[in-house]
A = this chain, B = another copy of it.
Amino acid sequence: MTHTVAPGSPFPSDHLSTALADLKRQRPLVQCLTNAVVTNFTANALLAAGAAPAMTDIVGESGDFARIADAVLINLGTPTPEQREAMVEAAAVCQETGTPWVLDPVAVGSLAVRTHLARDLLQFKPAVVRGNASEIIGLCGGAGGRGTDTTDQPGDALDAARTLLTDHGVQAVAISGEVDLIVGATDHGEVAWHVPHGHRYLTQVTGGGCALGAVIAACLAVQADPVEAAVAGSVLWEVAAEHAAARANGPGSFAVELLDQLNSLAPEALASQGAVTCAEVAL
């Protein structure tokens, strides 16, 4: 990845098509320890994108599974005591084995149990943290949002994202919003990409953000650079959402169409110039 491109440069679209093609060809095994609300939708999103999901989140199994998984998602949406223990078990194995993992700090900052848990999990060095702006801020000590809703814009979370990169060894932070912002550290300093895709229906389907975390984990399994994986996962998800919204009559049919589009989206469709406008931005 060229980290020396000037602001405004487009994200290399062939990297997007390669990521999607690799997903479909390699069928990576993605372990998800995620919330009870979205576990079905998340598994279906991974299947549609080409990955093999496994929702193994039991103490005594989650660590063993992390040893064979190609990537892991830990999402804090409904963290029962059993799941909290299983998350630490899986994250510790990931750190030991170098398996890349994504932390999704749902509603962190505004709720105590998960906020403590998220900070404990940070020590196991997730490759990517994905959340809305209030969650990223909450993870770094800020106040958090209104439940799962953000009360901040992606740009407001830049300082918190930098803290995650510099103090906690996170390699990429994906901040969801109307325009997603992906921030990462490189040898040449920080890099940030705008992903100006998606559709408001994604905010009207529960798990619209949670499943994106899983898709980013799937991309991490096939692409070594966490920043590229986060961009590729975000573009794949948001562009599929645009295609789905064009065929939907509301949030119910949108969720169905989104799975169909994830399944049928051709790698070439992401590679064509103009179809994806994902530009590096100045920090």
User: Does A255 sit at the interface, judged by CB under 8 A?
Assistant: yes
User: Does A21 sit at the interface, judged by CB under 8 A?
Assistant: no
The prevalent SS among residues of A at the interface is: mixed
Min CB gap A263→B, angstroms:
4
A93 contacts across to B, CB distance below 8 A: none
User: Does A40 sit at the interface, judged by CB under 8 A?
Assistant: yes
- Contact indicator A264/B252 (Cβ below 8 Å): no
- Contact indicator A259/B263 (Cβ below 8 Å): no
Min CB gap A143→B, angstroms:
12
- Contact indicator A259/B264 (Cβ below 8 Å): no
Copy number in the complex reads 3
A260 contacts across to B, CB distance below 8 A: 248-253
Chain A interfacial residues counted at CB < 8 A: 64
- Contact indicator B65/A147 (Cβ below 8 Å): yes
Question: Which residue in chain B gives the minimum CB-CB distance to A76?
Answer: B58
A205 contacts across to B, CB distance below 8 A: 44, 47
Question: Which residue in chain B gives the minimum CB-CB distance to A263?
Answer: B250
A163 contacts across to B, CB distance below 8 A: none
- Contact indicator B56/A147 (Cβ below 8 Å): yes
Min CB gap A116→B, angstroms:
10
Min CB gap A261→B, angstroms:
7
User: Does A82 sit at the interface, judged by CB under 8 A?
Assistant: yes
Bound complex: CA A131 to CA B40 (Å): 19
B-contact 0/1 string along A52-68, CB 8 Å cutoff: 11111111110011001
- Contact indicator A58/B78 (Cβ below 8 Å): yes
Partner of A256, one of B43, B112, B207, B252: B252
A residues near B (Cβ < 8 Å) are 29, 31, 35-41, 43-44, 47-48, 52-61, 64-65, 68-69, 77-82, 107, 110-114, 146-149, 203-207, 248-253, 255-264
